[in-house]
Amino acid sequence: MIPKTFKEVIDLGDGREISIETGKLAKQAHGSVVVQSGKCMLLCTVVSNYKQADVDFLPLTVDYREKFAAAGRYPGGFFKREARPSDGEVLTMRLVDRVLRPLFPKDYHSETQVMIQLMSHDDEVMPDAMAGLAASAAIQLSDFPFECAISEARVGRVNGEFIINPTREQLKESDIDMMIGASADSVMMVEGEMDEISEEEMTEAIKFAHEAIKVQCAAQIRLAEAFGKKEVREYESEREDEELAKKVHELAYDKVYAVAKAGSAKHERSAAFDAIKEEVKATFSEEELEDFGDLVSKYFYKAEKAAVRDLTLNDGLRLDGRKTDEIRPIWCEIDYLPSVHGSSIFTRGETQALATVTLGTSREANQIDMPSYEGEETFYLHYNFPPFSTGEARPIRGTSRREVGHGNLAQRALKGMIPEDCPYTVRVVSEVLESNGSSSMATVCSGTMALMDAGVQLKKPVSGIAMGLITDTDSGKYAVLSDILGDEDHLGDMDFKVTGTADGITACQMDIKVKGLSYEILVKALMQAKEGRLHILEKLTDTIAAPNADVKSYAPKIITKVIPGEYIGAVIGSGGKVIQELQKETNTTIVINEDPDTEEGIVEILGTGQEGIDAVIAKIDALMFKPEVGSVYEVKVIKMLDFGAVVEYKDAPGNEVLLHVSELAWERTENVSDVVNMGDVFDVKYFGLDPRTRKEKVSKKALLPKPEGYVERPPRNNDRRGGDRRGGRENRDRKPRRD
């Protein structure tokens, strides 16, 4: 018997719908929903243990996976089973996690899992846009202590019109690709890429998406009420002691305020804060610390946070002594590494990124193989964040989700500035060597300079900046901070990264930790970010004003040549023999791709020496050489035969043709060597296919004047039918056949 199901439908306003259904699948989970749009179906389940974990944070895991069976495909590779998540899946996990995590109580520490699976794929629906909706809807059906319903929506703009959850084809025409996460009351997360749009246009896109999210939140609430809203579970809250909190605040606040106001460097400041903390702990006995030492540490952090925030709100000063809109000192350098194709160093305060650029052929493109999308990237960026960048020693366990996310943000910031006709596959790698505030934005800046140093003809240079926000809801005061420190990221109310050119925004990432952020403050933050971004951009262009005119002498040059499809096989050769020998002889890399639309061959020739590239082009031209009837060509004798000479076209080495002895001279030629010899160079006329021999015919004598008194020999009669003819049966000189 099929159980009773409950369903809500969301109208997207253009004939498309999203449905949320529960009651049929995964009923042992604490909450489960199936979200569907078209043929696309996501199953989301949520479970949270009833016992609190022995940690001081929320152990939340958001897992998003796309099943290959959903698209009727097999996983690639040897093992036919889905393995570690792809970068695309990791990015979706981060988008959902960043919106959900702040809405759980700070003292809720139960192991919690949100698992979202793509069960059925539709080419017209991008499933990541519905992952946040699915996660929140499942939580609304559970008994979790969760603040309110949220959702996420993608917004695009085609021909000036905003679109909610556009298709991948629509996104190709869109100048905006943004994902917005919000509750009915507040925007909480923004991430995306844009085609140099203005700050006002970005704000309008956020507002448009927020209106759609309000409808999705209301549908979740209706579904939960129809299903039967569960009572919120009880859990063991953290200990609190108001008197202890007051005492620690009094002991620490003024001292922390004084250190913060001194404007010291990161490690010096951290050491001073640690010393104050030890002084506070010293006022308690060992027994007291054993009993509530964890509370002392907790309340000290609260006092530290309050002091630093008040310093900024009251005095307009920050931890390192800067004003709210001041950018830290910047120094840059290009061409630092002598053997890479392009490199740069960008240092801003205590944050430093070293970027390298590597140029390659289409063979080095980044292959994307997901159930929801197959394709390749000819520009991609990798971001590495080693422990030493923050002065720490910690385990290294492969590429973290943070590294994937920050690298993706920097890649989105720069990729729109790579010219469409760039012949290279371009890989940028950012090594973060120091970090104290926005290493991802340092990556954008170092990446820009490294690309220009490598000779990639960027349309425009790109810079990036991280903004922060500190607000006081009671007094109404707020401060927007430019170029935030790592500490300001942790204690502030917003982390807002913006990248762009001098003409507009190319990418952004925003996490808001305070409710009800007004659009007035958002616009102010964007405009202040623009000022800082332009200041940083000036430092970049002072270091390298424009892309280098050419790649470095030791970097590979690439030439692209289009050939008719019928010649692809000739260039490759039997078993790849021709192309392999050519690569070896010329010290080049040759890649041939077939254009699916025109069926032409796209030949990429990559090499460090121009001579090798020229030799490859000459060989390809030779393989495609087709002489024209009636034209004259220069040839060279490469082989002598009794009945003629084999000659090679000088303009097409490797293309040979037989020059018959009868075409050497007007006079009768007894020996070929009487007229030509090995290595002789002369002109011949091309006559096309000889109708008698069905072979190509060239003639040397056709370009020579006829000798005086020359008599043309009558053509030979090849007709073997009839009576009195030479070669006929009657005229053969042979004995009669015996009876």
d(CA 604, CA 561): 7
Write the secondary structure of 61-114 as one string of H (helix), E (strand) and C (coil). Answer: EEEEEECHHHHCCCCCCCCCCCCCCCHHHHHHHHHHHHHHHHHCCCCCCEEEEE
621 in a labelled binding site: no
Within 13 A of 460's CA, how many CA atoms are on the CB side?
17
Structure tokens given for 62 = 């958001």
Contacts of 578 (CB under 8 A, 6+ apart): 570, 571, 572, 623
* C-alpha distances in Å from residue 349, one per residue of 261, 316, 479, 642: 18, 19, 21, 83
97, 135 contact by CB (below 8 A): no
Read off the tokens for 711. Answer: 């008599």
Give the 3-state secondary structure of residue 46.
Answer: strand
**Contact between residue 461 and residue 445 where contact means Cβ atoms under 8 Å apart:** no
Q: Which residues contact 700 (CB under 8 A, 6 or more apart)?
A: 659, 663, 664, 665, 675, 676, 682, 683, 684
Reference 380, options 410, 355, 336; nearest CA is 410
Query: Is 489 annotated among the ligand-binding residues?
Result: yes
Question: Cα separation of 468 and 76, whole Å?
Answer: 43
- The terminus-to-terminus CA distance of the chain in angstroms comes to 102
Q: Which residues contact 71 (CB under 8 A, 6 or more apart)?
A: 121, 371, 372
DSSP 205-246: HHHHHHHHHHHHHHHHHHHHHHH-PPPPPP--PPP--HHHHH
State the Cα–Cα distance between residues 464 and 529, nearest whole angstrom.
Answer: 9
Cβ–Cβ under 8 Å, residues 19 and 35: yes
Amino acid 363 reads R
List all residues 6 or more positions away from 721 whose beta carbon is below 8 Å from its beta carbon. Answer: none
Known binding positions:
489, 495
Known binding positions for Mg(2+):
489, 495
